[in-house]
Every structure is written in C-alpha cells, then in structure tokens.
C-alpha cells in the first residue's frame, strides 16, 4: 500500500526526512487531484522568526505604539509579540510547510526601493527570503509553495513594480501563471516544471500573468483570543467554503487584544496564548478531512511546537480511504 511518508535510509520515519519531499511522495492518485482538495500546512506571519529591534517601528502600527516605542525597552517587548515563528523559511520548508503568509513594507528613510517583511517591527529583506525559498525548491523539484503577499505598507506603484520584478527574478520559470483553480494539480505543475504560486492582494496582480489575485485564496480571520470561539469560527467558515474557484485558508490562530498584551506583557505571544492552546487547535486539525468542501490550507503560529505539519499532511490519507475499501472487495 502506498503511504505519504517513506522511511529514511535507516528504516525509521522522521518528520524532517518525510516532510521535505512530502508532495513528491504522495500516492499517484493524490497528485492528480486539484491542490485545492489537498490538506496543506502553512504558517502565520511566516517571516517573523526574526525582527529587528533596532529598526523603526513598522507602518503597520498605530501612532500611539510608535510614540511608545521611543522608550528603549518597548521594542524588546514588541518583539515578544511580533515573533510568531521559531523556524526560518528553510526550516519551515523542511518541516513540510508549503503556504507562507507574507506582509511587506518599504522602510522609512531607506534611500533605495528595498522591501522588507513586516510585523510590528521590520524583518529580513524580502529578496533574501525569496532566495532561501528558491534554493530549497531547486533541491526539491517536486515541492510546490504558495506565497501569499496579503498586506502591503508604505508602498506606492514604484515599490510594487520593484517587488514584482524581484519575485520574477527570484523564481523565473518556476512561477505558475494564474489558472482555473480546479486545473492546478501536482501532476500539472510537475509537467510544466513549475513550483511557485504567487498570490498578490493588489489590483496590480491583473497586469502580470504569474500573479494570482488575492480573492483566489480567501483566509477568514477569527480575530479572537478564545480557542472555543476560534474552533467554532473555523467550522463555520469551512461550511461556507465555495466548492470551486478558490483555495481556502483556515487560520488556526489566536489574536491578542490590547488587554491580552497588557496582562502578558513580558511573557509574549508564545507563552501567553500559543503554548496552552496549540494542543486544542491540533486536536481540531486531527478531526478534519480534505476534499472539495473540506480543509485545504491550515495555518498556525509556532509550527514547530507541536507536530503540526505532519498532522496536516497525514489528513491526505483520508482521501485514499475509498481506494482502500475497494481493494478489500
């Protein structure tokens, strides 16, 4: 019987060995299904494993936060709430993450047009992140990624054109042009030697064939600190998922309120909200099934704290149950 993960040379199955090439290791039947029908692990604020305390506060923050940040220790506290991942892009890819939530900005006072990742504080240059992803893809030619550029700050048309040019330079022929969602299968991508789908939440996406419009990948946001409300929201929005025409992101994340941050100021996001709630969120993931109206992309904070990626990937085994039942007859 085909399985999604294969053992390493020592005969033991490890998440790292399996998940670096999990798409290429899928049973053949699953590689013919639309990617919108598969379960795909993703990360929230994927780039935020490193933020620069010495940089200005980002334009995504309120004027009040910017004023507070003039006090020296405030940025150190901000960092505790801005970082939502421990793993670099490369490490996330090796762990099996294939969807990346990307928020970008120009930097005040920067003389050139460079674009940076942003979540309260500035992260690494977008170009450096793209290069890291491209390097992995070159070494793993059957793996496919979704790069979702969904928030832009302090960017005019010149900045956008520069960023789009850099995306094209980074991935070249790996870019898969916008297409009917139902036509996007792993087999199709492999035949065309494409590995990257870029979603660009800006009207400019219509001008470039390799940019997918943002409405093709809705990502409903619960905006709650309550894990019970989050689970209810995830179930409700899955029930409202369109049967065709779009991918779907289930954001399995909790969002701190001002009072949440005030109460857990020193502890930060991970210790205040994530640690105690991730097991509940993972249990919800385990109850899901991919398919036309099932889960598709699921994102989480701190994807390394639990066996998140492997749990999502293994949901794809459920799509083979009909085949197994027939094989027994």
| Alpha-carbon span 289 to 321, nearest angstrom | 11
- 290 CB neighbour count, 10 Å cutoff: 23
For residue 251, list its beta bridge partners.
299
Q: Considering 119, 160, 201, 248, which one is annotated as catalytic?
A: 119
- Known catalytic residue: 275? no
| Main-chain phi, psi angles of 300, to 5 degrees | -150, 155
* 3-state percent breakdown (helix, strand, coil) of the chain, nearest 5: 45, 15, 40
How is residue 154 written in tokens?
């302090």
Q: Are 46 and 303 in contact (CB under 8 A)?
A: no
Angle at 89 between CA 85 and CA 94, to 5 degrees: 100
**Which one, of 248, 230, 246, 247, lies nearest residue 238 by Cα?**
248
Enter the DSSP assignment of 34. B
- Known catalytic residue: 159? no
Q: Are 130 and 170 in contact (CB under 8 A)?
A: yes
Q: Considering 44, 159, 201, 248, which one is annotated as catalytic?
A: 44
Angle at 164 between CA 85 and CA 41, to 5 degrees: 30
Active site residues: 44, 119
């Amino acid at each position: 019987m085909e399985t999604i993960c294969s053992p390493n040379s020592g005969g033991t199955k490890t998440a790292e060995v399996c998940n670096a090439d999990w798409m290429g290791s899928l049973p053949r039947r699953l590689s013919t299904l639309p990617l919108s029908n598969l379960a795909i692990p993703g990360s929230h604020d994927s780039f935020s494993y490193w933020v620069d305390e010495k940089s200005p506060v980002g334009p995504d923050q309120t004027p009040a936060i910017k004023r507070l940040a003039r006090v020296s220790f405030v940025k150190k506290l901000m960092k505790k709430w801005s970082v939502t991942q421990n793993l670099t892009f490369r490490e996330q890819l090796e762990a099996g993450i294939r969807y990346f939530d990307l928020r970008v900005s120009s930097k005040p006072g920067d003389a050139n047009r460079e674009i940076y990742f942003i979540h309260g504080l500035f992260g690494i240059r977008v170009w450096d992140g793209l290069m890291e992803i491209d390097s992995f893809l070159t070494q793993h030619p059957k793996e496919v990624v979704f790069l979702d550029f969904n928030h832009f700050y302090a960017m005019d048309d010149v900045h956008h054109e520069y960023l789009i040019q850099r995306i094209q330079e980074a991935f070249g022929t790996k870019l898969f042009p916008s297409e009917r969602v139902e036509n996007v299968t792993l087999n199709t991508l492999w035949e065309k030697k494409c590995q990257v789908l870029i979603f660009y939440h800006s009207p400019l996406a219509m001008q470039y064939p390799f940019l997918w419009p943002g409405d093709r990948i809705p990502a409903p946001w619960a905006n709650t600190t309550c894990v019970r409300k989050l689970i209810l929201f995830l179930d409700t929005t899955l029930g409202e998922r369109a049967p065709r025409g779009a991918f779907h992101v289930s954001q399995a994340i909790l969002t701190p309120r001002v009072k949440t941050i005030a109460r857990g100021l020193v502890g930060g996001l991970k210790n205040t909200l994530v640690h105690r709630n991730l097991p509940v969120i993972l249990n919800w993931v385990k109850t899901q099934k991919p398919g036309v109206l099932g889960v598709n992309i699921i994102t989480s904070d701190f994807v390394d704290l639990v066996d998140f990626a492997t749990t999502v990937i293994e949901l794809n085994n459920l799509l083979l149950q009909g085949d197994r039942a027939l094989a027994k007859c």
